Chain A
Amino acid sequence: MHEMSLAESVLQIIEDASRTQQFRRVRTVVLEIGALAAVEPEAMRFAFDAVVRGTLADGALLELIEIPGQGRCTACGMRVALQEQYGLCPECGSPRIEIVAGKQMRVKDLVVE
């Protein structure tokens, strides 16, 4: 259940931003989650709601944007769409696929007042 720690990181990022950007309430949190990041959206929503209770983000809407997994074959350079963290290059058959997108977990932006 590392979604709980991740939700705490989200809250910390919000609290840091509230100090530098001067806001009191958060209405919406836009979170980019890679398809290969091993994060369950439902667990993330549950953890987020629990973690922000009683804070400046209490009741905020959590918008999750899924970023598709993408890899690059280190042997032939082919771009490969990835559903999971490993695979064979459809062009040359190499198993050495470097993940270039789909692992990220980031707070993109906030709607605040």
Chain B
Amino acid sequence: MCTTCGCGSHKVLIEGKRVSRHAVPGALSYRAHATPAKADIALAPPANVGQTRRIQVERDLLARNDALAADNRTIFSARHVLALNLVSSPGSGKTTLLVRTIEAIKGKADVAVIEGDQQTSNDAERIRATGVQAIQINTGKGCHLDAQMVGHALEQLSLPEHALLFIENVGNLVCPAAFDLGEAAKVVVLSVTEGEDKPLKYPDMFRAAHLMLLNKCDLLPHLTFDVAQVMANAKRVNPDIEIIQLSATSGAGMDDWLAWIERERARCEKPLSTA
């Protein structure tokens, strides 16, 4: 296990390889690893063996992840990159939506994708078939991406200024809500083949998201899904959430989603001082 950041403790693979090196020449440097080792810190004298004492720690469990996410965010803002963290249940159509989105944006903007799945590189291959860069992270048994994995993936991406980075999280409406990756916004994808009460069942995720994409709307004529109800449920959990209805398959509503991305990209162009 890496003693700098603890990476390698899980069976996390990036592009099929264990992460063992932090500095890839010419690639983005991951600032979290540039901090000097703590060996120089003067140690307190050892306590007597066998005696117990209570020590105050007061440290947040997510503090480390949040610090690494802040590093990722610094990289994104320095390059005016819009990073979006796509979250959903498995099977909501995230990858198809991404493929269609990339096809529409390609040529107008540089796009890169970080794909998170427990196993296989199928999704990254689907993305690469569109001609854009994609890095696959396999989390092994892990149920979410964390900031450290994304930091390592960034080392392998050449991310031009003003690029658009999609991070497709592991399909899971629970755990990814808690782990900041440094993204500008979480976008939750919910398909109409799921239940209208998903926002109430998984409030963390719908509270954490800026935008909900209601996908597979082309199937609505065949279903009893109540669109007004799901929108009310999402607003109940998060009154400020934006909602776009679309179908990645038919293309309906895609223009609204693309306009939303453009609006967010424009925000990334603002000077750093306002970030």
User: Residues of A with Cβ closer than 8 Å to B?
Assistant: 1-2, 4-6, 8-10, 12-13, 17, 19-24, 27, 37-38, 84-86, 95-96, 104-113
Interface residues on B, range: 35 or more
Let me know if B61 and A13 touch, CB within 8 A: yes
Let me know if A113 and B57 touch, CB within 8 A: no
Residues in chain A near residue B143, CB distance under 8 A: 1-2
Residues in chain A near residue B47, CB distance under 8 A: 22-23, 112-113
Residues in chain A near residue B204, CB distance under 8 A: 38, 85
Let me know if B54 and A111 touch, CB within 8 A: yes
Residues in chain B near residue A1, CB distance under 8 A: 143, 175
Residues in chain B near residue A8, CB distance under 8 A: 6, 9
Let me know if A107 and B59 touch, CB within 8 A: yes
Q: How many A-B residue pairs have CB under 8 A?
A: 105
Closest to B176 in A: A2
Let me know if A108 and B57 touch, CB within 8 A: yes
Let me know if B175 and A22 touch, CB within 8 A: no
Residues in chain B near residue A112, CB distance under 8 A: 47, 52-55
Residues in chain B near residue A9, CB distance under 8 A: 61-62, 64-65
Taking A20-B43, A38-B177, A113-B52 as contacts, is the C-beta distance between A84 and B57 under 8 angstroms?
no
Closest to B46 in A: A22
Residues in chain A near residue B41, CB distance under 8 A: 19-20
Question: Chain A nearest CB: distance from B172 CB in Å?
Answer: 9
Question: Chain B nearest CB: distance from A102 CB in Å?
Answer: 12
B252 lies within 8 A of chain A by Cβ? no
User: Residues of B with Cβ closer than 8 Å to A?
Assistant: 6, 9, 38, 41, 43-47, 49-62, 64-65, 141-144, 146, 174-175, 177-179, 203-204, 207, 235-240
- Is chain B's binding surface mostly helix, strand, loop or mixed? loop
Let me know if B60 and A22 touch, CB within 8 A: no
Taking A84-B203, A85-B237, A106-B61 as contacts, is the C-beta distance between A113 and B46 under 8 angstroms?
no
Let me know if B61 and A95 touch, CB within 8 A: no
Let me know if B44 and A20 touch, CB within 8 A: yes
Residues in chain A near residue B56, CB distance under 8 A: 108-109
Let me know if A109 and B61 touch, CB within 8 A: no
Query: Considering the chains assembled together, what is the distance between the CA atoms of A105 and B238 in angstroms?
Result: 22
- Is chain A's binding surface mostly helix, strand, loop or mixed? mixed
Q: List 16 A-B contacts (CB under 8 A).
A: A1-B175, A2-B178, A4-B142, A5-B179, A9-B64, A17-B55, A22-B47, A23-B47, A86-B203, A104-B60, A105-B62, A106-B61, A108-B58, A109-B58, A111-B53, A111-B54
Let me know if A27 and B52 touch, CB within 8 A: yes
Question: Chain B nearest CB: distance from A51 CB in Å?
Answer: 10
Residues in chain B near residue A111, CB distance under 8 A: 52-54
- Interface residue from B60, B146, B203 paired with A85 (Cβ < 8 Å): B203
Beyond A5-B144, A107-B57, list 19 extra A-B contacts (CB 8 Å). Answer: A1-B143, A2-B174, A5-B146, A6-B61, A19-B41, A20-B41, A22-B43, A22-B45, A22-B46, A22-B47, A38-B177, A38-B178, A104-B60, A105-B62, A106-B60, A108-B57, A109-B55, A109-B57, A112-B54
Residues in chain A near residue B58, CB distance under 8 A: 106-109
Closest to B44 in A: A22
Query: Considering the chains assembled together, what is the distance between the CA atoms of A8 and B59 in angstroms?
Result: 13
Query: Considering the chains assembled together, what is the distance between the CA atoms of A6 and B124 in angstroms?
Result: 28
Query: Considering the chains assembled together, what is the distance between the CA atoms of A23 and B57 in angstroms?
Result: 13
